[in-house]
Amino acid sequence: MADVIGQVQICPDVFLLTLRADEIAEAASPGQFCMVEVRSHGDMDPLLRRPLSIHRVVGGGEIEFLYRVVGHGTYLLSQHCPGDRLYVLGPLGHGFQIVPGCPAILVGGGLGSAPLLFLAEELARDMVTVILGAPTKEELLCVEQFTAIGHQVLLATEDGSMGRHGLVTDVLSEVLSHGPDPRSCIFTCGPWPMMRAVYDMAHKRGLSCQVSLEARMACGIGLCLGCAVRRQDGQGYLHVCTEGPVFDAERVSWEPRQ
């Protein structure tokens, strides 16, 4: 059980949830996730916990989740206040693999910046480029937090209200056109078409690319096998909960998603 410490609305449908969970905070590494209860105790519905990637670990055994209200379950989660207690299972899954000494390019689209902040905080300061994008300035998340770490932060909005007028992949393309260090690692999270475009660029240049995927999940621990994603080699499926949620992008089949 974890105590709700904070529940803050960041923009119209995005919330920052802070939980006190000492053991999870202690064990967590960037890119891992938790299964978080959304219903109130005694309720049967919604049945399932929600998989949320860890946004940050803060001092004193606290973990933060940045999430969007997309349905009834996440709406109920947003109604939990300090004083409430929630069942939380985690940290789960395989997170980002940091390669010491290699420059890192972080590419986050919309809420995809959520797991990247934890990663950014763990990376050496002088070798990180962060590229964040969203439809509008209001939906650009965590810009101050990434900037405060001291990383170079490049922005793009689809309506041009902040940063470059365009997509994160336009900015990435420009960054890569300067002839990046061949040891560079790209870390990305965001909408499927964006991640696919990022993977394509990395693949063409022979750069390593790690993607954080999401999938519908019931258990989060490899029991139900519900969170399947097709493998690129055609040999069946990957499971987001136990083999991911972060994958080497070369393992994932990037066919359009339903």
Partner 1 sequence: MIAPDLSTNIGPLRLKNPVLLASGTCGYGEELKDLLDLNQLGGIIVKGISIRPRPGNPPPRLAETPCGLLNSIGLENIGIERFIREKLPWLQGLKTSVIVNIFGESTGEYAEMARRLDGVTGIQAIEVNISCPNVDGGIVSGTDPEAAAGVTRAVKRSTDLPVIVKLSPNVTDITKVAQEVASAGADAISLINTVLGMAIDVRSRRPCLARIFGGLSGPAIKPIALRMVWQVVRSVDIPVIGIGGISTYEDALEFLMAGAKAIEVGTATLVQPSSAENILAGIRTYMESNGLHRIGDLHLHI
Footprint of partner 1 (CB under 8 A): 44-49, 73, 87, 89, 215-219, 221-230, 235-237, 242, 258
CB of 47 to partner 1, least distance (A): 5
Report the residue number, 51 or 103, with the smaller CB distance to partner 1: 51
Q: How far is the CB of 161 from partner 1 (least distance, A)?
A: 26
Q: Which is nearer to partner 1, 58 or 228 (CB)?
A: 228
Q: Cβ closer to partner 1: 9 or 253?
A: 253
Minimum CB separation from partner 1 for residue 154, in Å? 32
| Shorter beta-carbon distance to partner 1: residue 77 or 229 | 229
DSSP string computed for the chain: -EEEEEEEEEETTEEEEEEE-HHHHHH--TT-EEEE--SPTT---S-S-EEEE--EEETTTEEEEEEE--SHHHHHHHT--BTBEE-EEEEESB-----TTS-EEEEEEGGGHHHHHHHHHHS-GGGEEEEEEESSGGG--SHHHHHHHT-EEEEEETTSSSSEES-HHHHHHHHHHT---TT-EEEEES-HHHHHHHHHHHHHTT-EEEEE-----SSSSSSS---EEEBTTSSSEEETTTT-BEEEGGGB--PPP-
Of the pair 86, 153, the CB lying nearest partner 1 is at 86
CB of 82 to partner 1, least distance (A): 23
Measured from the CB of residue 215, what is the shortest distance to partner 1 in angstroms? 7
